[in-house]
A and B are shown apart, each in its own frame.
Chain A
Amino acid sequence: MGGASRNERKRRQEAAAQRLASAGIQVPQRANNTSLIIVVAVVVAAVLAGGVVLYLRNAGTVATVTPAYAATSSGAVVTAGSGKPTIDVYEDFLCPNCEIFEKAYGNEIVSALNDGKLTVRFHSIAILDKRSSPAGYSTRAANAALCAVPAGTYPAYHQKLFASQPSEGSAGLTDDQLVEFGSQLGAKGDFAGCVKGAKNAAAVTAETQKAVANPAAQTNGVFGTPTVIANGTQVNLNNTNWLKDILAAG
């Protein structure tokens, strides 16, 4: 029934078009093309807007604050800076959210450390060892970062590891690459031996187990990275002013 009436309508439209054509009247067929052109133009504009955002974001990450703070380590915990407010930062060098955290707050943290307004205890965590292939990049990277403390290059090395973070599922940076970063940053002593000898691997494992079992570091019973603890309670990182609030409170 519906099909029959549709056919009937089509037949009449065609007949009408024929009559118009025989009378010398051109029926404009551009209507659909006009819509298509507008659609394409608007979509291209949207993609361009996205491209501008990407460009600006990548341009912005180049300007990292140069760290000038002192760092000491005990086990797998690196204590940085000398300010009164103290925070505990738990990071895994393979964790994508840690990289985003560093991108968002790294400069702010380094500035506060440089200015002596903050003390950070960086906990070198390896919970994502299974997310690299072969497994174990998290531990290797955490070990290398701890090797950088006696080598005198931890602050810059920490930034470098996040700036060069490999993707989950990849092999990660090789030991040679980890050593090379140290050389570039002027590592002193037997940095290569420390990295390749996995001198701090046991400390990283112990610190990871301690963090996973720490109720204050858990969210609903699960430990994840990045986690920041201040005054014994977990910091809500959804509040983009979390660090300013801590610095203001002194």
Chain B
Amino acid sequence: MNRTPVLDLVGTVARVALAAVWLVSGTLKAIDLDQTVVAVRAYDVLSRGAADVVAAVLPFLEIAIGLLLLLGIGVRLVAVASALLLLVFIAGVAQSWARGLSIDCGCFGGGGAVAPQATAYLQEIVRDTGFLALAAWLIARPHTLLSVDARLSAGRT
């Protein structure tokens, strides 16, 4: 029995799900860019200037990654970028947790300082790890259905 169609389907679901995550998170950040500045600064890792640059570029980068995944363009490369970005996010949340900061990750908009009992570091890391698993699948097996990649390479089987 041939498992390829099933694996393609799983990959397609992973691709579209990860695309949705990036599109939603990027859009929410882009809607309130000032709040995004607060969120990035709250991690207290980067200098003010660097944090402001990250806060300005990140929302659009997330939307770009989301669009590329949705269309299935350069899936493996974009999945690698997704995984790297998620690892940076997980590291950021982990260092906040380890240093005893009280912040919201601002993963889906919002962010900044919150009350100590309102932090959700573990949930945030678990959630990002789940997204990381989607990216890992696509890195290992980037072939999916309904992708521009497949169309571009259709000529050379």
> Could you tell me the distance in whole angstroms from the C-beta of A222 to the nearest C-beta in chain B?
7
B74 and A39: CB pair below 8 A?
yes
Give which listed residue, A46, A97, A167, contacts B47 with CB less than 8 A: A167
A46 and B113: CB pair below 8 A?
no
A-B contact count (CB 8 A): 90
Among residues 87 to 129 in chain B, which have CB atoms less than 8 Å away from a CB atom of chain A? Answer: 112-113, 115-118
Among residues 33 to 92 in chain B, which have CB atoms less than 8 Å away from a CB atom of chain A? Answer: 33-34, 37-38, 41, 44, 47-48, 52-53, 56-61, 63-64, 67-68, 73-74, 77-78
Binding-face segment, A25-33, A81-89, A147-155, A173-181: A25-33
Given the complex, which residues of B lie within 8 Å of A165, measured CB to CB?
48
Q: A38: nearest residue on chain B (CB-CB)?
A: B73
B152 and A35: CB pair below 8 A?
yes
B73 and A39: CB pair below 8 A?
yes
> Could you tell me the distance in whole angstroms from the C-beta of A5 to the nearest C-beta in chain B?
11
Q: A33: nearest residue on chain B (CB-CB)?
A: B152
A49 and B47: CB pair below 8 A?
no
Give which listed residue, B77, B152, B156, contacts A27 with CB less than 8 A: B156
A219 and B74: CB pair below 8 A?
no
A28 to B151, CA, bound (A): 13
* Interface residue B155 (Cβ < 8 Å from any Cβ of A): yes
A53 and B33: CB pair below 8 A?
yes
> Could you tell me the distance in whole angstroms from the C-beta of B121 to the nearest C-beta in chain A?
17
**Nearest 3 CB-CB pairs, A to B?**
A50-B57, A46-B64, A46-B60
A-B contact pairs, 18 of them (CB 8 A): A27-B156, A31-B153, A34-B152, A35-B73, A39-B78, A43-B64, A45-B64, A46-B57, A50-B53, A54-B53, A57-B56, A97-B113, A104-B34, A167-B47, A168-B44, A220-B115, A220-B118, A224-B113
